[in-house]
Structure 1
Amino acid sequence: MKQHWKFFASAAAALVWLWVSTALAVPWARSASLHLPAAYVVFVIGGVALLPAYLMGAMFLSNLLHRKLPPRRHPGCRPVSVIVCARNEEASIYRTIGSIAQQEYDGRVTILCVDNGSTDGTVAEIRRAAADFSRPGRVIRLYGCCEPGKARALNEGLRHVRDEYFVTVDADTCLEVSALSAIVGRIAATGAGCVAGNLVCAETRTWVQKMQFWDYFVSIAAVKRYQGSYGSTLVAQGAFSAYETAAVRAVGGWTDGAGEDIVLTYRLLAAGRRSLYEPRAVSFTAVPATLGALARQRSRWAKGMFEGLAAVKPWRQPGFFAGYFETLNLSIVWLDLGYIFGFVPGAALALLGMPWLAGWVTLLVLPLMLIGTVSVCRYQRRIPEMAGRSSLWGFVLFVLVFQTVQSACSLWGYAAALARRGLAWKP
């Protein structure tokens, strides 16, 4: 009940802010309608101003009410399995396995490595890691899955899990030394179906990675914290999440597609299980270094969202919060369309002396964005296990460029979903 009043209080305050924003937008809409079709103006203003006003307001206020870090839960000597799927990951998988084997974890850790038809030295690196890191309490096993597809590789790993809980870790992700203890302790203490970890960018060498640091550190973390406060984190990401083995088997494991982790999370929620977020479970994941690689990743995520919606409709979620957040996810399509076909052309028109859809009023969003960013950063920096290299240049790019890239890539993914076109996990 305590969580309910926090949700409704933040939602009510966001609705008041939405009403104020709408009142401020009316003169803007009337002025723009003198030059552009009225329906287009309303669509754009709703997508780039009013919808974000509600979404960001509700999330910011809810996270403010949940500003305390969750208590640390210790898993004791509970045994756990860790599934690591790999396809052509020879450059990183040795380091990943090492980070798991060297965890400060009292129980037995069984690392199930599944090679998904690699053509490089991935298998040799797994065997080298097994030779170097195996010891009492740390078991490393290698399995093969010849059928291409991450879902198939994950299901092969699941077939060999013998513990009550298991964790998935991507082959290019390294865990902070106490991450496994934090995430297993949380799922064991709460009885949740799954728990998502706190991902941070491992490297920020290129300008594309510098932008993504802030996306992971601020945006993704804030969304997961918001949804997780109500037991409905919509994506327990495959890069680092914990699961109850029986719950995953009961819903049939992973299904083949661009968003196998999204679909699995939706199905766990539909089965009445909670999906949480553990900020203390910090891991460092490799992110795309080029614009093309980022486009492929984000379009795959967008397609995965549609796969999740197709698998479990919002109104079929038994819990109010899961259905509510799933519905909000669908509204992001409006935001992306409004941004690409409204704000971006509006900014171009403003540069030509026609500030109909974007002008000095648009800059008012920057102080609000800064307040939200500072709030999330303060929360993240309070986590003792947190580390990461931020940059002011990366933040500037994140504010000015990232949303354009994100929305454009998402539209590509939406189109692929509607056309039922596949997007590969690995080439």
Structure 2
Amino acid sequence: MDYKEKIPTENEGLSYIQTKRTHYIPVKIKFVLSHLFAILWTVISVILSIPWVKDLSEIVTLPLALFIITGIAYIPGYMNAFLVVSLIFDRQPSFKNENPSKDITILIAARNEAENIGNTLVYIAKQDYSGHIKVFVIDNGSSDETSSVALSYGENLNLDVTVINEKKPGKFNALNTALKYVTTDLVITLDADTLLHPSAVRFLIARIESAPKDVCAVAGSVLVRNSRENIMTKIQEWDYFLGIASIKRLQGLYQGTLVAQGAFSVYKTDCVRVIGGWPDAIGEDIVLTWNLLKHNWRTYFEPLAVAFTNVPNTLRIFARQRSRWARGMIEALKTTKPWQQPSTYTKYLTGINLLIPYLDLAYTFFWLPGLILAYFGFFWIVGPATLLVLPLTFISYSVLYTYQKYVFRKLNLKVRKNVAGFLLFMLCYQMIMSPVSVWGYTQEVFRLKRVWK
């Protein structure tokens, strides 16, 4: 995310002081209360939508009318209501030790990244982490100077960098090859074009070191680095800042962050080895995380561990990326069924993903045509009742924005204004996302060729 950054001086530091809480609400109670509110909201929505159901059923039959309205209004409303209350309840626990010093390893899978790898290593060298950082750059069949650039920067930065060559294509192959050489208890994966905030590693390690012993991974907070490039990146700025972050906070609250993303996350090395490393999947980080959860381990999210990545700057590249993510979710569902998860929370969180394809299909094939009909005065599908979802969406993003501003103050970062991107994100983003996701599901169903970039 394109932010104005003020690097803190040595005397300023970065404290993470929690406000005192007079009352502690157990996670179980938060889970129940959030559901009660979501159910209440859904019941009200159903009552208010009865005239809408009757009108639409006269056109498409009652079963189809319920199928459509459930997909574009009832379930999205329920999910947004659950998200809102959960975010209100969410409070990050304090660190036991804000300055850990454990030796760690960072894995960077790189293919033709000569242009980016040097800058990525520069930001690793700037970390205020007191432990030793060992960096493995895995050259995954590059045809450029990725290896020599990485070695040169490592030497100039006095950074412990080793290049491993893995000719067999696939990020999972690169990471699994490097895993054999890891000797530290904790291993971080980082994308070759992702830049770390100076305290990113420190906060990420502090979170996993402060967490219960059964926490096997912590996802960092990945934000947009190139948001000023064009309107496509401006829109994605808000998706990462609000949309993705809100989902990760929700999942982290219920101790099951569903994607410890490969772009920037930390894992317990032994846990990754127990499950056989990264799987042969287009969404290798999604499947890996679900496999970890299936072993009755937990995964957390740390909003203070911030990294900045370049996002797609064209619709074509964006469509490839997000269809790949959608396909990765289907791979995870096929590999690890929600009912196989040992925790009630992860059963629920992964189970929600069973509904996502239905919601994307409903949005693509009913809501979008209904929007066109509404433009011509036919409010059969899209009408006043569908607007019930908007207030909850706005409230959830408002709550998350408050949290994010707090995080940014702690990190001495400033959010740049991006009004146009925000409006387009709120009003139009789903119009792009759902059809792209449907295409990803289709690719997986018909086992089409995998395309990473």
Shorter-chain-normalised TM-score: which range? over 0.9
Residue in structure 2 matched with residue 236 of structure 1 by the alignment: 260
> How many angstroms apart in 2 are the aligned matches of 1:266 and 1:110?
27
- Once the two structures are superposed, the pairs formed by residues 153-192 of structure 1 within 5 Å of their partners are 153-190=174-211, 191=213, 192=215
Asked if 2 retains the 8 angstrom alpha-carbon contact of 1:200 and 1:282, the reply is yes
Residue in structure 1 matched with residue 269 of structure 2 by the alignment: 245
Residue in structure 1 matched with residue 11 of structure 2 by the alignment: none
Closer/same/farther in 2, CA of residues 155 and 334 from structure 1, 3 Å limit: same
**3-state secondary structure, aligned to 1:382:** helix
- Once the two structures are superposed, the pairs formed by residues 272-351 of structure 1 within 5 Å of their partners are 272-351=296-375
The farther-off stretch of 118-127 and 383-392 is 383-392
> How many angstroms apart in 2 are the aligned matches of 1:388 and 1:141?
35
Cα shift at 1:25: 1.6
Residue in structure 2 matched with residue 71 of structure 1 by the alignment: 94
Cα shift at 1:189: 2.0
1:126 aligns with 2:150: yes
- Once the two structures are superposed, the pairs formed by residues 195-210 of structure 1 within 5 Å of their partners are 195-204=218-227, 205-210=229-234
Aligned partner (choices 407, 413, 419) of residue 440 of structure 2 = 413
> How many angstroms apart in 2 are the aligned matches of 1:162 and 1:208?
41
- Once the two structures are superposed, the pairs formed by residues 81-120 of structure 1 within 5 Å of their partners are 81-120=105-144
Cα shift at 1:240: 0.4
Question: Cα RMSD over matched residues?
Answer: 1.4
Asked if 2 retains the 8 angstrom alpha-carbon contact of 1:150 and 1:425, the reply is no
Asked if 1 retains the 8 angstrom alpha-carbon contact of 2:193 and 2:310, the reply is yes
Matched AA of 1:40? L
Residue in structure 1 matched with residue 424 of structure 2 by the alignment: 397
Residue in structure 2 matched with residue 141 of structure 1 by the alignment: 162
Cα shift at 1:360: 3.5
Residue in structure 2 matched with residue 33 of structure 1 by the alignment: 57
Residue in structure 1 matched with residue 451 of structure 2 by the alignment: 424
> How many angstroms apart in 1 are the aligned matches of 2:257 and 2:360?
21
Cα shift at 1:29: 1.1
Asked if 1 retains the 8 angstrom alpha-carbon contact of 2:117 and 2:193, the reply is yes
Matched AA of 2:441? Y
**3-state secondary structure, aligned to 2:184:** coil
Identity %: 39
Residue in structure 2 matched with residue 259 of structure 1 by the alignment: 283
Cα shift at 1:364: 4.2
Matched AA of 1:287? V
**3-state secondary structure, aligned to 2:177:** helix
- Once the two structures are superposed, the pairs formed by residues 44-83 of structure 1 within 5 Å of their partners are 44-66=68-90, 68-72=91-95, 73-83=97-107
Cα shift at 1:390: 4.5
Q: Which runs of 5+ in 1 are unaligned?
A: none
Matched AA of 2:239? D
**3-state secondary structure, aligned to 2:60:** coil
> How many angstroms apart in 2 are the aligned matches of 1:42 and 1:91?
52
**3-state secondary structure, aligned to 2:131:** coil
Matched AA of 1:262? I
> How many angstroms apart in 1 are the aligned matches of 2:335 and 2:386?
38
The farther-off stretch of 49-58 and 32-41 is 32-41
Cα shift at 1:263: 0.6
Residue in structure 2 matched with residue 193 of structure 1 by the alignment: 216
Cα shift at 1:387: 4.6
* Number of aligned residues: 422
- Once the two structures are superposed, the pairs formed by residues 212-227 of structure 1 within 5 Å of their partners are 212-227=236-251
Cα shift at 1:75: 4.9
> How many angstroms apart in 1 are the aligned matches of 2:153 and 2:354?
42
Q: Which runs of 5+ in 2 are unaligned?
A: 1-24
Q: Deviations over 1:343-399 (max 9, x none)?
A: 100000111221111124434433332222111111011012255434110011112
Runs of 4+ in 1 over 4 A off after TM superposition: none
1:12 aligns with 2:39: no
Asked if 2 retains the 8 angstrom alpha-carbon contact of 1:258 and 1:422, the reply is no
Q: Deviations over 1:117-155 (max 9, x none)?
A: 111232232122112212xxx411111110010100111
**3-state secondary structure, aligned to 1:34:** helix
Closer/same/farther in 2, CA of residues 264 and 250 from structure 1, 3 Å limit: same
> How many angstroms apart in 2 are the aligned matches of 1:359 and 1:55?
20
Residue in structure 1 matched with residue 378 of structure 2 by the alignment: 354
Cα shift at 1:425: 2.3
> How many angstroms apart in 2 are the aligned matches of 1:46 and 1:115?
48
Asked if 2 retains the 8 angstrom alpha-carbon contact of 1:232 and 1:276, the reply is yes
> How many angstroms apart in 1 are the aligned matches of 2:208 and 2:388?
41
Residue in structure 1 matched with residue 47 of structure 2 by the alignment: 23
Closer/same/farther in 2, CA of residues 373 and 314 from structure 1, 3 Å limit: same
Asked if 2 retains the 8 angstrom alpha-carbon contact of 1:75 and 1:188, the reply is no
Asked if 1 retains the 8 angstrom alpha-carbon contact of 2:45 and 2:388, the reply is no
Matched AA of 2:259? V
